[in-house]
């Protein structure tokens, strides 16, 4: 089934649109706090389509991802007050206190790694706010982690060029279905084990 190839081709068309940088910025902002699709989906084809602007696109992605991360932080920070009575009534207050201590001890490293890794960054931005992690270290770790990731992606696309695009086209369906399988396996594991 060629579902992911079709999506990839559509993304390539979007990446050549005159408003593509605005779409990339909006996607980067939204993904850091509530949107499920990572901005790499647009950053990669945009960097392939216009390699001379790859690092500009990485900069936009980083900037708006960090700004969206601040929104995620705010959601966690102010949303926690609303959820705390329910968490307490369910007997999970000790887990929240442990999470707060964990973020107090390792928060910068957690945000740095989450910013670079493919795990959903929004989970960590919201948790950082919910556990009241210091805002300035949160922002600095986000800049470094997200910047490293997006500049690496843009650089690989820029330097990989046509060969990289050929490889993506060849393997996009296989990689897409492998990702879906991993997500389903993770959900099954969490529900049943």
Profile the chain (193 residues) by mean pLDDT over runs of 10 residues: 78 84 94 85 88 96 98 93 82 78 87 88 89 94 97 94 79 83 83 80
* Buried b / exposed e along 58-83 (16+ C-beta atoms within 10 A): bebbbbbbbbbbbbbbebbbeebeee
Can you read off the two tokens belonging to residue 110? 């957690």
Q: What is the pLDDT of residue 169?
A: 78
The residue range of the domain holding 117 is 14-161
Q: Is residue 6 part of a domain?
A: no
Q: What is the pLDDT of residue 1?
A: 63
Q: Is residue 191 part of a domain?
A: no
Q: Is residue 108 part of a domain?
A: yes
* CA distance from start to end of the chain: 31
Q: What is the pLDDT of residue 14?
A: 80
From CA 78, how far away is CA 191, in angstroms rounded? Answer: 29
Question: Considering its fold, how many domains does the chain have in total?
Answer: 1
C-alpha torsion angle, residues 59, 4, 121, 17 (rounded to 10): 30
Percent of the chain with pLDDT over 70: 99
Q: Is residue 52 part of a domain?
A: yes
Please give the model's pTM, rounded to 2 decimal places. Answer: 0.80
Q: Is residue 26 part of a domain?
A: yes
Q: Is residue 41 part of a domain?
A: yes
Which residues make Cβ contacts (< 8 Å) with residue 173, sequence separation at least 6? 1, 2, 3, 4, 5
Q: Is residue 178 part of a domain?
A: no
Q: In this structure, what are the phi and psi dihedrals at residue 90, rounded to the nearest 5 degrees?
A: -85, -5
Q: Do residues 65 and 29 lie in contact, with contact meaning Cβ atoms separated by under 8 Å? A: yes
Q: Is residue 172 part of a domain?
A: no
């Amino acid at each position: 089934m060629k579902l992911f190839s079709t999506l990839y081709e559509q993304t390539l068309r979007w990446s050549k649109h005159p408003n593509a940088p605005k779409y990339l910025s909006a996607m980067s902002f939204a993904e850091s706090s509530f949107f499920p699709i990572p901005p790499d989906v647009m950053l990669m084809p945009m960097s392939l389509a216009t390699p001379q602007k790859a690092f500009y696109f990485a900069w936009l992605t980083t900037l708006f991802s960090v700004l969206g991360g601040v929104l995620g932080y705010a959601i966690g920070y102010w949303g926690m007050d609303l959820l705390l009575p329910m968490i307490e009534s369910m007997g999970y207050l000790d887990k929240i206190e442990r999470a707060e201590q964990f973020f107090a001890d390792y928060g910068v490293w957690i945000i740095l790694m989450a910013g670079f890794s493919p795990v959903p960054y929004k989970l960590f931005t919201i948790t950082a706010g919910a556990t009241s992690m210091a805002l300035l270290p949160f922002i600095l770790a986000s800049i470094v982690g997200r910047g490293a990731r997006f500049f690496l992606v843009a650089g690989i696309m820029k330097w990989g060029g046509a060969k990289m695009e050929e490889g993506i086209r060849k393997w996009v369906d296989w990689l897409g279905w492998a990702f879906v399988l991993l997500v389903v396996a993770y959900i099954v594991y969490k529900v049943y084990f």
